[in-house]
Chains A and B, each alone.
Chain A
Amino acid sequence: MGPGEIHERLRAAHGDAILEVQEALLDPVVVVKPERLHAVARFLRDDPALRCDTLRLVTGIDRPPEAIEVVYHLLSLTHRHEVRLRVRLTREDPLVVSLQDLWPTANWHEREIYDLLGVRFSGHPNLKRLLMPVDWVGHPLRKDYVKPPEYHGIPTDRKAVMERRVTAVAPAMHEAKDVPADCFMLINMGPHHPATHGVLNFLLETDGEILRRVRADVGYLHRGMEKIAEGMTYASTMPYTDRVDYLGAMFTNHGWALAAEKLAGIEVPRRAEFCRVIASELNRIASHQIATGSLAMDVGAYTPFLHWIRERETINNLTDRICGARLTYNYMRIGGVARDIDAETIEMTRRWLDHFEPMIDEFNQLISGNEIFVRRLANVTVISPEDAIGYALVGPNLRASGVNWDIRRDEPYSIYPEFQFDVITGQGWRGGVGDAFDRFWCRMLEMYESVKILRQALDRLPEGPIRAAVPRAFKPAANEVYARVEGPRGEAGFYVVADGSDKPYRARYRTGSFTALPMIERTAPGLMLADLVALIGSLDVIAPEVDR
């Protein structure tokens, strides 16, 4: 269904709730009355012709002097269309109804907006700060926010730090966290823990070895990238997107470039599109290697991890040749790519692919069929398709639950429609559909698909320019756009609000790990403590994507 039809249908059912339909925007938005938001959202979710089953993203936008807006991106996996809702709230006392009863994923989105913008959500069960420390003052994403000169005695200015560098640290006792009265035993896992893949903190309430309740405490790597983007030009935000997802930097680069190109209506040359796909698929393999290798390491097998690290070095060499960086690529440019891929690199990549495909088989012989490994993963934390959609899982995590959805195929971008590849969905290979083994095996099979795409792209690489002519002063007109790519951890989406200047008014990053983490809170109770590690590893959650 196109936007026009959707808006017609919405108007017919809830005409009095709609204030305005902003159809001129690149991605149209329906402005609804805040008090009617819940009814409209429920209609969008339950109406058989609309069936917006996924809440993709919730964004808060500060509009001084009087308004704060909250924008909801809804997606229908069934009908493959999108709807966006906007509510305008007063800036003094922003209050809107919570949608976490319709889509459980809204829970964390709303907490984040409360944390960073101070919007309150009525009916929210746990409206506390998500990313910032609990004793932080103010809401950083408000436009008039000023950062404090120091926090807990640590200066926020580099010059002040240089004047009083620390020379010694007194041994300190750690302050215990509040323990609820009905708690069994509290185990603090993280933020420094080898199996949490970065700085994630889990508060585990356990009864012996059985988990009773799991609470995730995130924000230990919240670097405020969305706020930084508001002060940077579109081009200079590119290196920051590398660090949103450092294991899949090509994809976040690509998503940001797509957003800017969509805003300014830039056509990307064909060779550049091929370069992007080649670089991205190499990156996807590298990311899945870390995901599968560290999952194996987490459940006790160290050698497979070292095998993948060895193979990954070659990918790092290739990306080094392509863009001059091993990890944080900064390869994409608005309108193209930074550097061309030379003939020798293409030859090296071909040779490496011939070497790599048997390597996947070797890895499988080493670990994937291993009885202990399979038993650690099979039937552990089966995620049903309904849960996966409700919690807005994306990428391999969603597909492992049997939902056939891949942005490369279903919301095509770049030149992906030209390539032959299969979308891997979970089949319950060793247990129920959507268990930890399915998530692991989906990633393994996706590596074969990436190899397929790479071979096709290398064979068909056309000649031509690698960058479109983009004006030096890049100033897209006031507009709003949502661009997304299929990254290794699922959707890497960028919602950009332009105001006609050379800097984005608001940039919002939608990442796969942010929505995958609440899934751990949901599925972990009842598991053995050791299975939690398998669950975290199989969901491939990384901290910078959660915290941004």
Chain B
Amino acid sequence: MTDPAPPAVPLSCPGGEGTPLVATTTVDQFLNWFRQGSIWYLLFATACCGIELMQTGGPRTDLDRFGAVFRSSPRQSDLLIVAGTITYKMADRVRLLYAQMAEPKYVLAMGSCANCGGLFQPSYSVVPGVDAIVPVDLYLPGCPPRPEALNEAILRLQDLIASERWADRMKGRRRTPAGIVIGGAAAEA
């Protein structure tokens, strides 16, 4: 696991020693710094992965360190962690939850079921991958992924946020889903 990226806000004193401290930075870095440190995720636990999601929010792994706290309402969330199997009966609700979230929003497909249907691909009622319903930015393999892995996914999401440009969004350019696979190409297998 890599260390979290240091805040990308270079501090400088343009007037020399003794002048008031002034920070100069770019708009992108400034905004992204805040966004990176306040990833509020939607408490959307459908199956087994939800328990590991709870453990990750618990005292040991403690996602709060990264400013990532769970919210119960999609209106307040930045990140949709799809923690568990999605069935056809559930599919419309996932779409609805995603539509209710405010931009900018991200989707993390946690666990094999959300990635590709996982163990339940042969089933008649399971959606083979949540990317059939909502755009997915991060794929996290595992059945269920360990808390360390989920932690890593949050850090990769911070990197993703850091790379975004404010101007793109102001010009109304639609962001394409990043589709990053945490830990290599294993999730597609």
Q: Give residues in A with beta carbon < 8 Å to B.
A: 131-133, 136, 140, 145, 147, 151-152, 154-158, 161-162, 165-172, 174, 191-194, 198-199, 219-225, 227-228, 231, 239-240, 242-243, 246-247, 290, 306, 309-310, 312-313, 316, 326-328, 543-544
The answer on a CB contact under 8 Å between B58 and A223 is no
The answer to whether the Cβ of B27 comes within 8 Å of any Cβ in the partner chain is: no
B174 at the interface (CB under 8 A from A): yes
Are A228 and B44 CB-contacts (below 8 A) given A167-B176, A169-B134, A309-B59?
Answer: no
Contacting residue for A228 out of B72, B91, B122, CB 8 A: B122
Quick check: A161 and B87 within 8 Å, CB to CB?
no
CB distance from B48 to the nearest CB of A (A): 4
Q: How far is the CB of A289 from chain B (nearest CB, A)?
A: 11
User: Contacts A158-B129, A240-B119; is A246 near B51 (CB within 8 Å)?
Assistant: yes
A sample of 25 cross-chain residue pairs with beta-carbon separation below 8 angstroms, ordered by A number, consists of A132-B125, A140-B124, A145-B124, A152-B91, A156-B128, A157-B128, A161-B129, A165-B135, A167-B135, A169-B99, A169-B133, A192-B44, A219-B89, A220-B90, A221-B46, A228-B120, A228-B122, A231-B122, A309-B57, A312-B55, A312-B58, A313-B58, A327-B144, A328-B143, A543-B47
Residue pair A132, B89 in contact (C-beta under 8 Å): yes
Question: What is the CB-to-nearest-CB distance from B66 to chain A, in angstroms, rounded to a whole number?
Answer: 17
Residue of B nearest to A167 (CB): B135
Q: Contact between A151 and B88 (Cβ–Cβ < 8 Å)?
A: yes
Inter-chain CA distance A227–B121, complex, in Å, is 12
Take A174-B96, A220-B90, A228-B122 as given contacts and tell me if A306 and B128 are in contact as well, using a CB distance cutoff of 8 Å: no
List B contacts of A228 (CB < 8 A): 120, 122-123
Q: List the A side residues contacting B136 at CB < 8 Å.
A: 165
Cβ–Cβ contact A222 & B87, under 8 A: yes
How far, in Å, is B179 (CB) from chain A's closest CB?
A: 8
Whether B165 is near chain A, meaning CB under 8 Å from some CB there, is no
Q: B26-66, CB under 8 A of A: which get 1 and which 0?
A: 00000000000000000111111011101101111000000
CB of A331 to closest CB in B, whole Å: 15
Q: Given A168-B135, A174-B96, A223-B120, does the pair A243, B90 have CB atoms closer than 8 Å?
A: no
- Residues on B with C-beta less than 8 A from A152 are 88, 91-92
Contact check, A227 vs B124: say whether CB atoms are below 8 A apart: yes
Given contacts A145-B124, A156-B128, contact A172 B99 (CB under 8 A): yes
B93 pairs with A154, CB closer than 8 A: no
Which residue in B58, B85, B121, B131 is a CB contact (below 8 Å) of A221?
B85
Q: List the interface of chain B (C-beta within 8 A of A).
A: 43-48, 50-52, 54-55, 57-60, 72, 84-85, 87-93, 95-99, 116-117, 119-129, 131-136, 143-144, 146, 174, 176-177, 179, 188
New A-B pairs, 6, CB < 8 Å, besides A158-B129, A172-B95, A191-B93: A194-B72, A219-B89, A220-B46, A220-B93, A227-B124, A544-B47
Contact A165 B132, CB 8 Å, known A158-B116, A220-B90, A327-B51: yes
> Please, how many angstroms separate the alpha-carbon atoms of A191 and B143 in the complex?
22
Known: A152-B88, A169-B134, A221-B85. A158 touches B121 (CB 8 A): yes
The answer on a CB contact under 8 Å between A169 and B43 is: no
Contact B124 A224 (CB under 8 A): yes
Cα A424 to Cα B7 in complex, Å, equals 55
CB contacts (< 8 Å) of A136 on chain B: these are: 88
B99 pairs with A170, CB closer than 8 A? yes
B57 (CB) vs chain A CBs: closest residue: A309
Q: Are A309 and B58 in contact (CB under 8 A)?
A: yes
**A165 neighbours in B (Cβ, 8 Å):** 131-132, 135-136, 177, 179
Residue B43 contacts which of A147, A155, A194, A240 (CB distance < 8 angstroms)? A194
Cα distance, A174 to B188, chains bound together (Å): 32
- Within the complex, the shortest CB–CB distance from A415 to chain B, in Å, comes to 29
Contacts of B45 in A (CB 8 A): 198
Checking B89, B96, B119, B179 against A220 with a beta-carbon cut-off of 8 angstroms, the contacting residue is: B89
CB distance from A250 to the nearest CB of B (A): 14
* Chain B residue at minimal CB-CB distance from A140: B124
B96 & A227 in contact (Cβ 8 Å cutoff): no
Q: Which 6 A-B pairs have the closest CB atoms?
A: A309-B58, A246-B48, A224-B123, A158-B128, A147-B124, A161-B132
Cα of A463 to Cα of B188 in the assembled complex, Å: 44
A220, B45: Cα distance in complex, Å: 12
Given known pairs A155-B132, A167-B177, the reply for A199 and B121 (CB within 8 Å) is: no
B112 to chain A, nearest CB (A): 11
> What is the distance, in angstroms, from B83's C-beta to the closest C-beta of chain A?
11
Tell whether, in the assembled complex, residue B90 and residue A309 are in contact, meaning their CB atoms are under 8 Å apart: no
Given contacts A158-B116, A170-B99, A327-B144, contact A309 B89 (CB under 8 A): no
Contact B91 A243 (CB under 8 A): no
Q: How far is the CB of A194 from chain B (nearest CB, A)?
A: 5
Smallest Cβ distance from A315 to chain B, in angstroms? 11
Q: Which residue of B lies closest to A220 (CB)?
A: B90
Closest-CB distance, B111 to chain A (whole angstroms): 10
Q: Nearest Cβ in chain B — how far from A116, in angstroms? A: 10
Judging by beta carbons under 8 Å apart, are A191 and B122 in contact? no
Q: Given A145-B124, A224-B124, A243-B119, do A326 and B89 touch, yes or no (CB 8 Å)? A: no
Q: Measured between C-beta atoms, what is the minimum distance from B114 to chain A in Å?
A: 12
Chain A nearest CB, measured from B122 CB (Å): 6
Check A221 against B119 for contact (C-beta < 8 Å): no
